């Protein structure tokens, strides 16, 4: 495990994705998150004044539980003020564009936007029209960088180093921003990444991302040290991608029966929310201790999300950066 960084926060103007982010910067975020996790768990409530008086807009144009609340806790732990924005209760519902919305909020002298939006590329686009910091909290099917960082943080806690660990990402790769960010981050850190999915839910250019492709779950389980199980996006997969949910569950659901058949120990992650008995059985999702061939760290991921997002907010807002500098 790397040592904690407790010095001056490094400049980090925006975080819109993990594509192109160097390993050293990812390690810096993880080390800082480790420092914050210790403080957070020590007292139950980490309160510092690093971001005292900063105004952080949590602009969620899509629903969220884990990401929104963990950003809110992280911001408050650092002394910042959070401003919650939901599309349905704002003037977006009267037809105001996202660009006008952002410009109006910026005119109120806010310090950062944490943005979740259904359109791929929206966080990057917003970062180009504002002088304010932008953090991507999930944009369409593009990236969810803070989720991947908390997944990677959780894997690093378990394995120590990620170099040459074999991480399987199981499920709907085609529509998954979590899968894309994890592929970028994990491969940068030297992990081997395998994706396991029905062919209909694989992007056509998937091999260009440097991953191993499995279309059978048993082979993927034999290969992998850990599985990141993805939510089957029921709102997107009704359009002829799958014969039926039962068929998907039969062939790609992670269950005790499959793990026991192969007698392979597996660390199991899931970003949530989970569809129980569709992509993962309750036995696997809820098993946090042996006996059994799996260990679930789903709720550890949620706790780690607060630590990782605290680190990111501090690195983005903690020191004045040049408005014209690059993302990192």
- What is the C-alpha separation between 204 and 114, in angstroms, rounded? 31
Q: Phi, psi (5° rounding) for residue 86?
A: -125, 140
Neighbours of 66 (CB within 10 A): 16
| Cβ closest to ligand CP, residue 63 vs residue 238 | 63
Closer CB to ligand CP, 29 or 259, in the complex: 29
Q: Give the distance from CA 58 to its chain's centroid.
A: 16
- Residue (67 or 294) nearer to ligand CP, CB: 67
Q: How far is the CB of 159 from ligand CP (least distance, A)?
A: 21
In the chain, the DSSP E strands lie at 55-60, 81-86, 112-117, 133-139, 166-170, 192-196, 212-214, 226-229, 266-269, 294-296
Residues of the shown chain interacting with ligand CP in the complex, contacts defined by CB under 6 A: 64-67, 138, 147, 271-273
Question: Measured at the alpha carbon of residue 61, what is the angle toward residues 151 and 34, in degrees to the nearest 5?
Answer: 25
Q: Considering the complex, what minimum distance in angstroms separates the CB of residue 221 from ligand CP?
A: 23
For ligand CP, the closer of residues 147 and 187 by Cβ is 147
**Which of 173/259 has CB closer to ligand CP?**
173
Q: Copy the structure tokens of residue 52.
A: 């005292």
Question: Please, what is the minimum distance in Å from the beta carbon of residue 49 to ligand CP?
Answer: 27
User: What minimum distance in Å lies between the beta carbon of 302 and ligand CP?
Assistant: 9
d(CA 194, CA 177) in angstroms, rounded, equals: 16
Give the end-to-end CA distance of the chain in Å, rounded to a whole number. 23
Is 55 or 270 the residue whose CB approaches ligand CP more closely? 270
CB of 69 to ligand CP, least distance (A): 8
Least Å from the CB of residue 229 to ligand CP: 12
């Amino acid at each position: 495990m790397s040592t904690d960084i407790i010095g001056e926060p490094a400049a980090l103007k925006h975080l819109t994705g993990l594509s192109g982010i160097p390993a050293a910067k990812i390690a810096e975020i993880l080390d800082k998150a480790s420092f914050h996790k210790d403080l957070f768990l020590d007292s139950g409530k980490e309160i510092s004044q690093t971001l005292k008086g900063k105004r952080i807009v949590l602009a969620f144009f899509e629903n969220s539980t884990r990401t929104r609340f963990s950003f809110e806790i992280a911001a408050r732990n650092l002394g910042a003020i959070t401003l919650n924005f939901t599309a349905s209760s704002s003037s977006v519902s009267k037809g105001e564009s996202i660009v006008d919305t952002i410009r109006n909020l910026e005119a109120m002298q806010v310090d950062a936007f944490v943005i979740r939006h259904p359109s791929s590329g929206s966080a990057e686009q917003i970062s180009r029209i504002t002088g304010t910091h932008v953090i991507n909290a999930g944009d369409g099917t593009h990236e969810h960088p803070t989720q991947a960082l908390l997944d990677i943080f959780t894997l690093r806690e378990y394995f120590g180093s990620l170099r040459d660990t074999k991480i399987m990402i199981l499920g709907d790769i085609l529509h998954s921003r979590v899968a894309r960010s994890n592929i970028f981050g994990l491969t940068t850190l030297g992990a081997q990444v395998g994706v396991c999915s029905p062919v209909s839910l694989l992007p056509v250019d998937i091999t260009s991302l440097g991953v191993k492709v499995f279309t059978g779950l048993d082979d993927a389980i034999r290969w992998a040290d850990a599985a990141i199980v993805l939510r089957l996006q029921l709102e997107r997969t009704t359009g002829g991608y799958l014969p039926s949910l039962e068929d998907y569950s039969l062939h790609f659901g992670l269950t005790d029966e499959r793990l026991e058949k192969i007698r392979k120990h597996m660390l199991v992650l899931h970003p949530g929310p989970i569809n129980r008995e569709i992509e993962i059985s309750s036995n696997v999702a809820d098993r946090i201790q042996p006996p059994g061939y799996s260990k679930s760290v789903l709720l550890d991921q949620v706790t780690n999300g607060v630590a990782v997002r605290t680190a990111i907010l501090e690195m983005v807002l903690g020191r004045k950066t040049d408005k014209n500098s690059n993302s990192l």
